[in-house]
Amino acid sequence: MSFDYDLFVIGGGSGGVRAARVAAQAGAKVALAEEDRYGGTCVQRGCVPKKLMVFASEYPGHVEDAKAYGWDAQIGDFCWDAFRSKLHAELDRLEGVYRNILGNNGVETFDARARLADAHTVELSDGSRKTAKHILLAMGGWPVLPEIKGADLGITSNEVFHLDELPETMLILGGGYIACEFACILNGLGVKVTQYYRGAQILRGFDEEARGLVAEEMQQNGIDLHLGTNILEMAEDGGKIRVKATNGTERHFDKVMFATGRRPNTAGMGLEDLGVKLGRNGEVLVDEYSQTSIPSIYAVGDVTDRMNLTPVAIREGMAFVETVFNGNPTPVDHALVPTAIFTQPEMGTVGLSEEEARDQGPIEVYATSFKPMRESFAGRAQRVLMKLVVCADTRRVLGCHIVAPGAGEMIQLAGIAVRMGATKEDFDRTVAVHPTMSEEIVTMREPVRTA
């Protein structure tokens, strides 16, 4: 049977675009459909605009530090309009880059919603049908609103980049990295931020000592964090949002932002009708080669809800092409993925948390917390953390956790060492770069505890 294409990709985000481009370069005839903007969550509603907002939010602190270092520095008001206009222009530019990547590699694109008609056929929103030997699902995910009375009065991380003006007060509900990052960003931009999280500590799943320090520093920086707290109901009240919480309070906020989870974009795709197996959250279930229960259909990225990070989606897309088009079966490896949380201070992490490692066998923990030179001289109380979790038997470094300004940059390089199987002695043999914060990673001699 002949097909219109060797590969049809649904979704123009990081994973889908990479897979389409690399498959086309391998000689495949490729098409891609995207119903919204090219670049996906990362470029349009996530990493890129968020990081630009992080940069913007850090300047008041830089100016305060400058004064302590002898500069006659002043900072005026933040102009959200000016920043937002430039931000959207940059996102438009990046969308153009993504479109050009596809066009320059001979990928045919359709600005349309696509759904599956059968195991080899895609139906576009204009009614046309396209056939393909292989179909790749890369539709990503979408924020979900909690089931709370009045939830429709709130916004999500999607809308935060499009606010007409910054509110004076904002409540953020959630304790994951999206909630915590935006709490820090908006606090830095001058918004009075309150954060509610139903759990006992923010950043569930990360190293307890590291997330504890982040929580302390967030509060120190002025974020009104309430743990063990959820919203019962919300209502409009005189132009503000009245929020009744489980801690017995009733407060008014200009805006409420929900960062309470994301759901894979699988609704209305015709997947269940075809027999594509989905998980409890609507995620596409795949094997280690990203293949679904239908042999001709594969899935990568957030739609599979495996590890929802942009570089992971890109890796999955590359492994898919290697497996299907280059005849080299390549499983996706989700172990030892370094990642950063762009709170203030940042957290960088790779490998196992102390708690995870403790469950697997005897460990030694090397950790140090201190005031970094730059902040200490400026009179700031900010503390940082450097931490290694080491297997007591093999001496391998199982986890590295950094809470510090620039932790994201540091953890990328630490990730190489951990990935290579470096031992504590390998770290010890490395000469320190002085004076830096990161030198503490190679100068810790005695464990602070064993387990």
Cis amide leading into 345 (omega within 30): yes
CA 61 to chain centre: 24
CB-CB neighbours of 220 under 10 Å: 12
Q: Contact 245/256 with Cβ under 8 angstroms?
A: no
**Residue 289 assigned ligand-binding role:** no
- Whether 434 sits among the annotated catalytic residues: the reply is yes
Q: Report the sign of the C-alpha dihedral through residues 349, 354, 358, 362, in that order.
A: positive
Q: How far apart are CA 373 and CA 392, in angstroms?
A: 32
**Residue 235 assigned ligand-binding role:** no
**Which entry of 62, 226, 252, 434 is annotated as an active-site residue?**
434
Q: How far apart are CA 237 and CA 193, in angstroms?
A: 19
**Residue 327 assigned ligand-binding role:** no
Q: How far apart are CA 449 and CA 149, in angstroms?
A: 47
**Residue 174 assigned ligand-binding role:** yes
**Residue 440 assigned ligand-binding role:** no
**Residue 46 assigned ligand-binding role:** no
Strand ranges in 265-362 using DSSP code E only, listed in sequence order? 297-299, 339-341, 347-351
**Residue 261 assigned ligand-binding role:** yes
**Residue 176 assigned ligand-binding role:** yes
State the Rg of the chain over Cα: 24
Q: How far apart are CA 416 and CA 365, in angstroms?
A: 20
**Residue 205 assigned ligand-binding role:** no
**Side chain identity at residue 290, one-letter code:** S
The 8-class DSSP code of residue 282 comes to S
**Residue 333 assigned ligand-binding role:** no
Q: What is the DSSP string of 145-171?
A: --S-BTGGG-B-HHHHTT-SS--SEEE
CB-CB neighbours of 156 under 10 Å: 18
Q: How far apart are CA 444 and CA 202, in angstroms?
A: 27
CA distances from 247 to 197, 203, 271, 299 (A): 11, 20, 42, 42
The 8-class DSSP code of residue 285 comes to P
**Residue 181 assigned ligand-binding role:** yes
Strand ranges in 371-436 using DSSP code E only, listed in sequence order? 384-391, 397-403
Question: Residues within the annotated binding site for NAD(+)?
Answer: 174-181, 261
Task: Provide the annotated active-site residues.
Answer: 434
Question: Residues within the annotated binding site for FAD?
Answer: 51, 302
Question: Residues within the annotated binding site?
Answer: 51, 174-181, 261, 302
